[in-house]
């Protein structure tokens, strides 16, 4: 097992240092064969912040994840889509948990016309980060993944163009998987209160670094803060303020595990008035100072 490092941020640079990955460009990392999650040098028992776009295909094992405060059960044939600034934490995992991995930047595919498709994926992932596929769809994605791997075993001529083309196909396949999954649940009608809660969670993921006031989120759905928080508590068992605090704390913890950011820099990135105010806020929620947590 590799020594664990609490990077805090899942970057292409750090992913390129993992075992059994192919790294031929600064914008793409792909697993050469299924990776044991336990062998990664990231400690996913702590929150980690995703910097780029990640596709994972679970080939073995089980896990329970927390992604942007939503919990997911993962098993064989589960696909996970992780977008920039997502915060992920593994709550439980089996020893045999394995995944195939694709991790890439927007820059890598900026010259192939898939920006609108990726925007659609981001919107869908806000609702469901992980979905279980049937045998056919899962096998199709594995085949495409393996075709990319095999390209790095061949002469380099036209390699980049072929890899980008295959990645383009994967993106469309993922869109189809999400569309089919949505079709299966189209008869599920959400109440108005449930729709407000789902909208709140989507907004919270987008704005938690800059907006910690319940009024901001209530204004987006044209409700008073008091009535808005009552609805959120009715649906989820927590008030809007409690969800905001939890998301901010989770994001701060992920950043604190980054070795290249000081507490002052994190305070600034999280839009706190001062490092002192950030420290007081963090200690109230976590029971320790940011420095103490960073040293854990």
| Cβ atoms < 10 Å from Cβ of 285 | 14
Give a yes or no: residue 42 inside a domain: yes
Give a yes or no: residue 2 inside a domain: no
Quick one: tokens of 21? 């990955």
Residues 17, 131, single domain; the answer is: yes
Give a yes or no: residue 1 inside a domain: no
Task: Determine the Cα–Cα distance for residues 51 and 103; give it in Å rounded to an integer.
Answer: 10
Residues 61, 164, single domain; the answer is: yes
Task: Determine the Cα–Cα distance for residues 16 and 90; give it in Å rounded to an integer.
Answer: 21
Which of 80-89, 109-118, 146-155, 246-255 has the least mean pLDDT? 109-118
Q: What is the pLDDT of residues 94-106, one digit of tens each?
A: 999 999 999 998 7
pLDDT band with cut points at 50, 70 and 90 for residue 177: confident
Residues 159, 245, single domain; the answer is: no
CATH code, domain with 161? 2.60.120.280
C-beta separation of 240 from 69 below 8 A: no
C-beta separation of 79 from 56 below 8 A: yes
pLDDT tops 50 at residue 1: no
Q: What is the pLDDT of residues 257-291, one digit of tens each?
A: 765 788 999 999 999 999 999 999 999 999 999 99
Residues 139, 122, single domain; the answer is: yes
Q: What is the per-residue burial (b if ≥16 Cβ within 10 Å, else e) of 226-261?
A: eebbebbbebbeeebbebbbebbbbbbbbbbbbeeb
Residues 280, 259, single domain; the answer is: yes
Specify the higher pLDDT residue, 204 or 189.
Answer: 204
> Residue 264: which H helix or E strand, with range?
helix 263-269
Q: What is the pLDDT of residues 65-91, one digit of tens each?
A: 999 888 999 999 999 999 888 889 999
What pLDDT score does 11 carry?
87
Domain span including residue 18: 8-185
Main-chain phi, psi angles of 263, to 5 degrees: -60, -40
Which of 1-5, 114-118, 160-164, 215-219 has the least mean pLDDT? 1-5
Residues 169, 53, single domain; the answer is: yes
Residues 122, 18, single domain; the answer is: yes
pLDDT tops 60 at residue 163: yes
Q: Could you give the C-alpha distances from 32 to 10, 18, 148, 168, in angstroms and in order? A: 19, 11, 9, 19
Q: How many domains does the chain have?
A: 2
Which residues have C-beta within 8 Å of that of residue 242, sequence separation ≥ 6? Answer: none
What pLDDT score does 92 carry?
96
Please, what is the Cα angle at 123 between 118 and 127, to 5 degrees? Answer: 135
Calculate the average pLDDT of the chain: 87
DSSP-assigned letter for residue 5: B
Give a yes or no: residue 3 inside a domain: no
pLDDT tops 80 at residue 246: yes
Task: Determine the Cα–Cα distance for residues 205 and 20; give it in Å rounded to an integer.
Answer: 32
């Amino acid at each position: 097992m590799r020594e664990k490092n609490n990077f805090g941020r899942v970057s292409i640079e750090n992913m390129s240092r993992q075992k059994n990955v192919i790294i031929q460009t600064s914008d793409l990392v792909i697993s050469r064969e299924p990776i044991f999650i336990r062998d990664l040098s990231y400690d996913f028992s702590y929150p980690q912040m995703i910097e780029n776009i990640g596709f994972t295909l679970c080939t073995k094992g089980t896990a329970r994840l927390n992604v942007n405060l939503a919990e997911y059960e993962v098993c064989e044939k589960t696909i996970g889509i992780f977008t920039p600034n997502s915060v992920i934490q593994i709550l439980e995992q089996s020893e045999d948990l394995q995944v195939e991995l694709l991790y890439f930047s927007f820059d890598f595919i900026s010259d192939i016309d898939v920006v609108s498709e990726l925007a659609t994926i981001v919107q869908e992932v806000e609702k469901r980060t992980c979905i279980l596929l049937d045998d056919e769809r899962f096998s199709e994605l594995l085949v495409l993944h393996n075709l990319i791997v095999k390209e790095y075993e061949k002469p380099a001529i036209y390699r980049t163009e072929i890899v980008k083309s295959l990645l383009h196909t994967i993106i469309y396949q993922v869109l189809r998987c999400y569309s089919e999954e949505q079709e299966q649940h189209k008869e599920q009608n959400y109440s108005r209160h449930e729709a407000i809660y789902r909208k709140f969670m989507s907004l919270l993921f987008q704005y938690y670094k800059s907006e910690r006031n319940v009024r901001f989120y209530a204004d987006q759905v044209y409700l008073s803060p008091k009535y808005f928080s009552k609805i959120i508590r009715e649906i989820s068992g927590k008030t809007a303020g409690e969800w905001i605090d939890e998301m901010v704390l989770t994001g701060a913890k992920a950043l604190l595990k980054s070795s290249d950011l000081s507490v002052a820099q994190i305070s600034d990135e999280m839009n706190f008035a001062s490092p002192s105010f950030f420290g007081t806020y963090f200690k109230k929620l976590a029971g320790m100072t940011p420095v103490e947590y960073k040293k854990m």
